[in-house]
Each structure stands twice: as structure tokens, then as C-alpha cells.
Structure 1
Amino acid sequence: MTSTLSPAELTQQLESLESRMAYQEHWLDTLDQAVAQQERRLATLEQLSALMRERLREQHQARHMDDAPDASRPEDDIPPHY
């Protein structure tokens, strides 16, 4: 099926396609920037999560060391007025 379009109609179709392509390129760039920003944010959150895990591990180990029978805990101390 062949369609004969006038030069003006072809020009209009070409301009429409170019406009749509420019719009899509703009949104592709915008999405690319958003993905890059999310990747940076994810990396930062992963680092923060790793630091928090390490601190929790250290606190957990310190707490178990405090639970040793020879270690005195403040809550076990008898207040001076007794």
C-alpha cells in the first residue's frame, strides 16, 4: 500500500517525529540522571548500613563481655544507703 503525501505533509510528519524524539531524549536523560542519583544514594545507604551492623556487633560483643561472672554491672551494685 503506497501513500502519496505532499512535501508539506512529509515535512509536517518529519517535524512531528523529530519533536517526539527530542521529547523522548529529554526524558531519557532525566531518567538516566535519576538512576545515577539513586545509585549514589544506595551506595551511601549501604555504607551506613555496614557501619551500623559493625557498631551493633561491637555493642553485642561488649555486652556479652559485661555479662561475664567476674564483671560487675552498675545495676548489681548496692546503693550506698543500704
Structure 2
Amino acid sequence: MPHNLSPAALDARLEALETRLAYQEDWLDTLDQTVIDQQRRLDALEKISALMRERLRERSHEPSHGQTPTPGESDAPPDDERPPHY
């Protein structure tokens, strides 16, 4: 930065920097709020996913249409459990 700037030029430069800073602060606030909103949505979706998994587990252990489960059927692993070779 040249040292021979007039006071008016320095004031103009300072004002431009302050304006840029204000816009950047506003932009950061907007980004922060977006991240907060996305985290809330993600939390809600994770809760829904957990509830759906639980309901699927419950339904997979229920007898189908009044049929009685075959012996050993209740010992079957859940569908989302990985086989031992993984």
C-alpha cells in the first residue's frame, strides 16, 4: 500500500473495506443459518429412518396373515444384518 495516499483516498479505501467486511459477515450469517437448518432436517430424517427400521423389524418378526412361524424362524437374523463373511 502506498504511503502517499491522501486522507480522502484513505477514507474511501477504508469505507470500501468496511463495506466488504459487512457483506462477508452477512454472507457468513446466511451460511451458518443454512447449516443449522440442514442439520435440523438431517436429524429429523434420521429419526424417521430409525422409526422405519424399527417398524420393518417388528413386521418381519410378525407371522404373515395368521400363519404360524416355522420352528427356528424367530432366530433368523434381521434383513439389515451383514452376513459373517463381510
TM-score, normalised by the number of residues in structure 2: 0.72
Question: More deviation in 35-44 or 57-66?
Answer: 57-66
Match of 1:68 in 2: 69
Kindly report structure 1 stretches of 4+ aligned residues shifted beyond 3 Å: 63-67
What letter is aligned with 1:4?
Answer: N
Q: How does 1:29-44 map to 2 (within 5 A)?
A: 29-44=29-44
Match of 2:8 in 1: 8
Q: Quote the Cα distance in structure 1 between the aligned partners of 2:7 and 2:19.
A: 18
Identity among equivalent pairs (%): 57
Q: CA RMSD in A?
A: 2.4
Higher relative contact order (CA 8 A, sep 6+): 2
TM-score, normalised by the number of residues in structure 1: 0.75
SS where residue 69 of structure 2 aligns? coil
The structure richer in helix per residue is 1
Cα deviation 1:45-73 (Å, max 9, x = unaligned): 0000000000000111114794524xxxx
What letter is aligned with 1:60?
Answer: S
Q: Quote the Cα distance in structure 1 between the aligned partners of 2:36 and 2:44.
A: 13
Unaligned regions of 5+ residues in structure 2, if any? 71-86
Unaligned regions of 5+ residues in structure 1, if any? 70-82
